[in-house]
Amino acid sequence: MKTIVLLRHAKSAWDQPQISDHERPLADRGRNAAPKMATRLADLALPLDIILCSTSRRTRQTFSLMSAVLGMHAKTVSFLDSLYSADADTILAHIRSLPASLHSCCVIGHNPGLTDVLQRITRAGIDNIPTCGIAVVECNVENWEDVKEGELRSFITPKQVIE
């Protein structure tokens, strides 16, 4: 059994039009939501073997805020330029290249790629992973390269947690 956690970055700020999209930081709302969502993720008691994280500023900030709650260590994360604005094929290629010895991974990235992965491998009917949303998918395979379909086990949104 392999477990995939798809985590969209927290809400980003749009008040600095002069900076590039890659360098856009989190908004106050995102900085507030990330630790609360990390607490909900911790409640699921999922050990995460590896975190694959986009190199954008907002994904790195989301990781940092969440890792403070979850106790993630830097050695368990790979920051990948290729996850910035990645499509579903790219995200799945990273997942499918993981060693079989790992049982769970978390991908911290962007839409539409993350939602497209969720739609492709589940029949959950979710049309959007919102900012700081978390989807947990279990795949009944022994090797990551065989990930083609899975079952949605949890879908947590900030609206469920914060409002």
Q: Is residue 50 assigned to a domain?
A: yes
Calculate ∠ Cα 10-15-17, nearest 5°.
110
Q: Helix 28-43 crosses helix 57-70 at what angle (to 10 degrees)? A: 40
- CB-based contact 129:6 (threshold 8 Å): yes
d(CA 42, CA 2): 18
d(CA 142, CA 137): 14
Q: Is residue 36 assigned to a domain?
A: yes
Mean pLDDT of 71-86: 85
Residue 53 has φ and ψ, to the nearest 5°, of -130, 135
pLDDT of residue 161: 81
Q: What is the dihedral of CA 105, 110, 115, 116, to 10 degrees?
A: -90
Question: What CATH number is given to the structural domain containing 63?
Answer: 3.40.50.1240
d(CA 108, CA 121): 17
pLDDT of residue 17: 85
| pLDDT digits 0-9 by tens, 42-64 | 999 888 899 999 999 999 999 99
Q: Is residue 79 assigned to a domain?
A: yes
For the beta carbon of residue 5, count every other beta carbon within 10 angstroms: 20
74 pLDDT more than 60: no
Question: Which residues span the domain enclosing 74?
Answer: 1-11+24-97+118-136
Query: Global pTM?
Result: 0.95
Q: Is residue 109 assigned to a domain?
A: no
73 pLDDT more than 70: no
pLDDT of residue 163: 60
Q: Is residue 107 assigned to a domain?
A: no
pLDDT of residue 69: 85
Pairwise pLDDT comparison (18 vs 155), residue with the higher score: 155
Q: Is residue 74 assigned to a domain?
A: yes
pLDDT of residue 75: 64
Q: Is residue 152 assigned to a domain?
A: no
1 pLDDT more than 80: yes
Mean pLDDT of 147-152: 97
